[in-house]
Structure 1
């Protein structure tokens, strides 16, 4: 008998707080993504109250065809976000990540409007911002006939066409293999 699927429900977000995702480690890269979500004040004495990494990525198709398990409930996410979190998940160490599509209750228009205004501050307070460029395509990381083609293929990825959110100086770019 299959277990009933329980959809994740957001609790209200207190003023001057953000939601952070605790990405639970797993040795099996294909295992379902297990997470917990917690609320943290954005600032204490001018600093972020909890160390976290912010994730920047291209949403891609708006269809939410994948799931992450948050506190034993399922939350639908895009294929792009699922791929990023799958690659970011470590086999031994939990990661604390701020992810816009999960941190903001996308169904609550008021919260979404308020929180989008804080994204630059959230990125600035992160220990680093990780940019998910997506899975490797067309051998874009291989040097076939010189360095120009792979660089151009990299720069043609959709993330580089986003102009609404520029990365802060503490940004790490990665594709297929996350940084240490």
Structure 2
């Protein structure tokens, strides 16, 4: 693990002629160790191997107000980039599930949010970014018993006519109030995905 840096991360410009995007490579780590990543430029049309993330930047249903506003430092190319709590939770979870580093496109990190011109140009490419991704990873938030119950219940809905499913309906309601379902962008992200992983 690299020593924590306080030097702020600075974006290098994308080459518009090459139709470049940035992808994040999540580096292996353990538990609560510092999240470390590499941000790499790739040409969108070169058939690069990457996933794309669909998520809500903030989810008031999952986090208290203090947790929602909590910021985390992500080491990107050895420098510090501040990210939100929900994204940090996803990155910790993704890092723990992978045997090797993988490339993933995440709008909050892969687009320079402080550069209005770049942000607008990249938003126009988002359709293609999601189409070209190997899969779209849908992050609904940290795992919970209610979420697991809701997924099991979804599988049962077509198999049973049991009217005594009040606990399951409560689990489903809890699952469907997550912020991801309220985002307009999810329609594009899920419709354009070659494959979606929840």
Question: Secondary structure of 1:153's match?
Answer: helix
Q: Which residue of 1 aligns with 2:74?
A: 68
| Contact residue 4 and residue 34 of structure 2 kept, 8 A | no
| Contact residue 146 and residue 175 of structure 2 kept, 8 A | no
Rg larger in structure: 2
Over 4 Å off, 4+ runs:
61-64, 143-146
| Contact residue 64 and residue 76 of structure 1 kept, 8 A | no
Deviation at 1:31, TM superposition (A): 1.0
Q: 1:96, 1:4 → 2: CA distance?
A: 22
More helix per residue: 2
Gaps of 5+ in 1: 174-180
Deviation at 1:108, TM superposition (A): 0.4
CA-to-aligned-CA distance 1:79-109 (integer Å, 9 cap, x gap) = 1111111111145311111000011001100
Alignment map for 1:82-121 (pairs within 5 Å): 82-89=88-95, 90=97, 92-121=99-128
| Contact residue 7 and residue 74 of structure 1 kept, 8 A | yes
Q: Which residue of 2 aligns with 1:152?
A: 173
CA-to-aligned-CA distance 1:121-160 (integer Å, 9 cap, x gap) = 1011000000110124573434795432222211111100
**For the structure 1 residues 101 and 4, does the alpha-carbon distance in structure 2 shift closer, same or farther, using more than 3 Å as the test?**
closer
Q: 2:14, 2:185 → 1: CA distance?
A: 24
Deviation at 1:118, TM superposition (A): 1.1
Q: How many pairs were matched up?
A: 167
Q: Which residue of 2 aligns with 1:23?
A: 26
**Greater Cα shift, 162-171 or 14-23:** 162-171
Q: Which residue of 2 aligns with 1:172?
A: 197
Q: 2:110, 2:4 → 1: CA distance?
A: 26
**Greater Cα shift, 121-130 or 162-171:** 162-171
Gaps of 5+ in 2: 60-67, 151-164
More strand per residue: 1
**For the structure 1 residues 137 and 82, does the alpha-carbon distance in structure 2 shift closer, same or farther, using more than 3 Å as the test?**
same
Q: Which residue of 1 aligns with 2:162?
A: none
**For the structure 1 residues 64 and 150, does the alpha-carbon distance in structure 2 shift closer, same or farther, using more than 3 Å as the test?**
closer
1:38 aligns with 2:59: no
